[in-house]
Amino acid sequence: MNFMTRERETTERFLPGLDAKLAAMPLELLESADTPALALFRDAGGTGLLIGAERGGCGANLAEAARVHRALGARSPSLAIAVNMHSCTVAAMPPGPAGDMMLDMVAQARLYLASAFAEGIPGASVITPKLHGERVEGGWKISGSKKPCSLSKSMDILTASVRLRPDGEAADQLALAVIPAASPGIEVRPLPGVAVFPGSETHEVVLTDVAVAEDAISFFGGSDDTLNDALSAAWLTFSVLVSACYLGMASGLVERVLDGRKGTAADRMAMVGDLDTAMAAIEAVANEIAQGAIDPGTVARALHLRFATQRAIERTSGLATELLGGIAFMTGDSAQLYTGCRALAFHPPSRMNIAEPLDRFVAGEPLIVA
């Protein structure tokens, strides 16, 4: 079938054998709390997907990573969501010796990074972490909670945003804390009743007076301008990759329609056209980001991309589910894919909240996402 061929070829190139192993397993197993997908991705070297080959990683660029994420979404929504948070955490690693050392470890030891970052948007006036810390002898003590947090059980390292006051400074600054997952004081609390993405290990991670050494803290910088520059690339990476993940879930539905020759040729080609056009836009914005663009125009394009992808998913997933039929919805896996791919709407910023800032930006005003 000539559908998602580039995505699967790219996945095979960077993670040989992974797609075939996922394809051989039922979605019910891949989407269970006992999913083998996270271990398979780790074993394939996937934790180093966005890390350079010189550090032991795969060396994929952002557009190539987006293709991999789409392929994963079509096979296992839970895996795609969990991997997305790992990839974006890798992208958020501040430059410098400590960050470079961390990337070496992640790629070479195949470590999973979980993210306890605040749900902040670059360009906002305030980015408020959910964790707080206090100075102690030899380092810091960090406390607080991150809910929801993917990879909460498989994580090897927890990365957390926290406001701390450097020695000699008059005000707190945003910092990145790198914390081994086995540290005393870290507790994973299940989120009861979670029906979507059960294989993503999305729970609550609670920190109580967790000791963090001095050299495990990296400050982003004191000024808002410095802070936003440091975080923009990571947030843009999130926008691109999360769009690709959910596009993959809708693609999995459409693939079932194509396999079964459901609907008319016009129906099938309308869905393929919607999805592949959205993917072309994802790759275009990914290439722009990879070239270092983090200006407001790029942020606006990433937002428009996210919501255009969301609309394409709404159109195609609804029609694909209808064409697959009620029996498939009740007894097959179309309901799981349909429910999963619609969750893109719940990632901040919401379509309702961002409409006014984007409208003002198009009219010539600064882009301010509050």
On whether the CB atoms of residues 245 and 72 are closer than 8 A, the answer is yes
State the residue range of the domain holding 58: 5-109
Domain boundary among 85, 109, 133: 109
For residues 194-230, one letter each, b for 16 or more C-beta atoms within 10 angstroms of the residue's C-beta and e for the rest, the string is eebbbbbbbbebbbeebebeeebbbbbbeeeeebbeb
Q: Return the C-alpha torsion angle 276, 282, 284, 289, nearest 10.
A: -170
pLDDT in tens, 122-146: 443 335 677 888 999 889 999 999 8
pTM, two decimals, is: 0.92
Q: What is the CATH number of the domain that holds 331?
A: 1.20.140.10
**Residues of the chain with confidence (pLDDT) below 50:** 120-126, 224-227
pLDDT of 223: 53
| Number of compact structural domains in the chain | 3
pLDDT of 231: 66
Domain boundary among 205, 222, 239: 222
Maximum alpha-carbon separation in the chain? 70
Domain presence at residue 168: yes
State the amino acid at position 315 in one-letter form: R
Statement to judge: residues 198 and 158 lie in one domain: yes
pLDDT in tens, 175-205: 888 999 999 999 999 988 777 899 999 999 9
Statement to judge: residues 307 and 325 lie in one domain: yes
Domain boundary among 168, 202, 222: 222
Q: What is the CATH number of the domain that holds 144?
A: 2.40.110.10
Sign of CA dihedral 147, 153, 154, 159: positive
Quickly tell me which residue has 């380092």 as its tokens.
139
pLDDT of 27: 94
